[in-house]
Structure 1
Amino acid sequence: MDVRDLQRENIKNLSPYSTARDEFKGQASVYLDANENSFGSPLPADYNRYPDPLQLDLKDAISKIKGVPIENTFLGNGSDEAIDLLFRAFCNPGKDNVIILPPTYGMYEVSANINDVEVRKVNLTPDFQLDLENIAETIDANTKIIFICSPNNPTGNSLNRGDIETILANFKGLVVIDEAYINFAKQKTFIQELTEYANLVILQTFSKAWGLAALRLGMAFSSTHVIDILNKVKPPYNINQATQDLALAALQNIQQVNEWIKITVNERERLANALSRLEKVRKVYPSDANFILVQIDHAHWTYHQLVDQGIIVRDRSKVVLCDDCLRITIGTTEENNQLLTALEKL
């Protein structure tokens, strides 16, 4: 398949905005082309110049860690920007549809609604796995994207790899695998499959394991055709220079990140075991993420009792298949102990 055939007709014919920095190659000593402030910025670092619109230095550093070439990498203002651009580039408003698999990350549906794209929902099975038969029955000629979150949010589990490969091999649209929590999982990333499936898009983020949620930096990996289309429709300077600089510095501290991942996984197991011993807890679901889904008596009431004590978790009790469930992020040892003490006293 040629994924370029999936893009909207107006995107095929789009002439992208050409930035001042796109119109010449190499370095210069005098920049009088972009109407910047030539005197500097009122900060210790000079931020008066526009940043690299393609973030090539940062992508090069990421490629050394991820093993993905620069031309197969897109950086967005959070993964949410990549999600939104996929709708804008590939889905015709009022005509095309996408499939999401509840319970799942809420921004897929929000972005679809913003872009006037029909959302078709195929619930996960009771054990939070893909319902392949119903997915196949829901696909039609106007289905452009299937969003798969693995490890899944809010359930925390990884989806069966063979089931995902079945969709990749048989669906003629884009398959977006959101791997925001992959650093905490035993299951390996789908990055190795990028060369096998032209329709595969992988989302990852600096917001979770990397501890850079405030920077809003997301990654998308795909075939060069998909990446070229995303670069064509993105805002010209979508990643600011401060974010690029800080992310480059963070990539030098991968040992610290790996240590935090180990601690998080250990705390996840300790917290899951402790929660399972509480009388009010009915079920602690297995997790491959940095959070745990817990079914608990009177979840909504419990959530508000914790809020009153300054402890914030996520109430998922109204989400499909998550009756009476709270989603609890893995905190520090002290924070987890504080949570357990509060729950024991309720």
Structure 2
Amino acid sequence: MANSFDLTNLLRENIRKLIPYSSARDEFKGEASVLLDANENAYGSPLERNYNRYPDPLQQQLKLKLSKIKGVPARNIFLGNGSDEAIDILYRAFCRPGIDNVLLVPPTYGMYEVSAHINDVAIKKVNLTADFQLDLEGIAETIDANTRMIFLCSPNNPTGNSLHREDVETILANFGGLVVIDEAYINYSRQKTFIQELTEYSNLVVLQTLSKAWGLAGLRLGMAFASEEIIEVFNKIKPPYNINQATQELALKALDNVETVNAWIREAVAERERLSEVLRQMKFVVHVYPSDANFILVKTVEPRHLYTYLVEKSIIIRDRSKVELCAGCLRITVGTPEENSLLVEALAHYHPEN
């Protein structure tokens, strides 16, 4: 495993030659009183707020506000329709269908594999170790000349733990392709983000989202942070207006509430620890895994029976017992104090089958 990263060589030939679609708003910058360039309905819209005009294709205002919060220049930010759009673009930009492969480290977020199949890209897998950390030796032995990307989720889903930072840095320093670090749950973690390492590693892409700590899952707004050259590739491929006007406006308002969000994070972390401690005392719980996320992975005696029991109590959790290394495990999202108390009460009255 040796780092000989070259973005030009990594980029697919058809993407390198691609002339992106140029929207009307791409061609004009500035203020104007009469807009007759984009075939919009000039009369307005039937909604209280006029949405008859196309949105900013590059979401400049939103990126400037995110830049101040994240401490990253706006030119290093891509905004997508959820992080899933960024994942799909990475495959389309850097992986040749039927030729190249990516490396995944199960158990991990399932969309990496789904997107690989959609784009006809082969998958190599190196399972995490028993304590859900990277198998560096196995990774070095598995990658080959056609391995274009390695996806790492930290804090990891569904296990909840953060990957050892020094292990991730070893891969960044030695792998010649892209290293994609998915930090969807970073706000709940003790570990600092890799965003500040963008200037050190040209092959680094960091994914984050406003769906978790910011509570904007319904808006579907994901973020990718990378070098300016990689961000230019994202913008070359994305649909011209991938983030709608309503989402941009609502996200801008939400980003004014940093203190509120930080208070939610503190409470969620406190509830995570409270819930973990309560679960450890229950006889049918085999193990509660340490978590840096807003959920807990719990190994139980009878996962399916317990899952069904909670469904009957109108409490929905996630059965992860069929996932690699997660036999017997259920994933429980940390809810509000009231929701967590309802869960604890239901579990107190649970009786295993055997």
TM over 0.5: yes
- Give the superposition deviation at 1:4: 2.7
Q: Does residue 198 of the first structure (1) align with residue 199 of the second (2)? A: no
Report the count of equivalent residues. 346
- Structure 2, gaps ≥5 residues long: none
Q: Output aligned runs, 1:143-154, within 5 Å.
A: 143-154=147-158
Would you say 1:111 and 2:122 are equivalent positions?
no
Q: Distance in 2 between matches of 1:56 and 1:160?
A: 34
**Is the counterpart of residue 230 in structure 1 residue 234 in structure 2?**
yes
Q: Which amino acid aligns with 2:94?
A: F
Q: What amino acid does structure 2 have at the position aligned with 1:302? A: L
Shift of 1:2: 2.9
In structure 2, what is the Cα distance between the partners aligned to 1:275 and 1:22?
Answer: 54
Query: 17, 24, 29: which is aligned to 2:33?
Result: 29
Structure 1 stretch displaced more, 104-113 or 38-47: 38-47
In structure 2, distance between residues paired with 1:214 and 1:54:
21
2:23 is aligned to 19
- Match of 1:326, SS state, is strand
Q: How does 1:36-115 map to 2 (within 5 A)?
A: 36-115=40-119
Q: Which moved more, 1:240-249 or 1:336-345?
A: 336-345
Please provide the CA RMSD for this pair. 0.6
Given candidates 244, 250, 253, the residue that maps to 1:246 is 250
Q: What is the deviation of 1:149? A: 0.2
* 2:171 aligned partner: 167
Could you tell me how far apart the structure 1 residues matched to 2:157 and 2:46 are?
Answer: 41
1:155 aligns with 2:153: no
Letter in 1 for 2:297: L
Aligned letter for 1:235?
P
Contact 1:4/1:226 (8 A) holds in 2: no
User: SS where residue 293 of structure 1 aligns?
Assistant: strand
SS in 2 for 1:151: coil
Residue range with higher mean Cα deviation, 106-115 or 32-41: 32-41
Kindly provide the CA deviation profile for residues 302-342 of structure 1, in whole angstroms up to 9, marking residues without a partner as x.
11111111100000000010010000000011111111111
TM-score (norm 2): 0.97
Q: Distance in 1 between matches of 2:109 and 2:192?
A: 20
| d(CA) in 2 for partners of 1:279, 1:56 | 53
Other-structure match for 1:131 = 135
Percent identity at matched positions? 69
Native 8 Å contact 2:6 2:176 kept in 1: no
Matched, 1:306 2:310: yes
Q: Deviations over 1:177-216 (max 9, x none)?
A: 0000000000000011100000000000000000000000
- Contact 1:194/1:200 (CA < 8 Å) preserved in 2? yes
> Which runs of 5 or more structure 1 residues have no equivalent in the other structure?
none
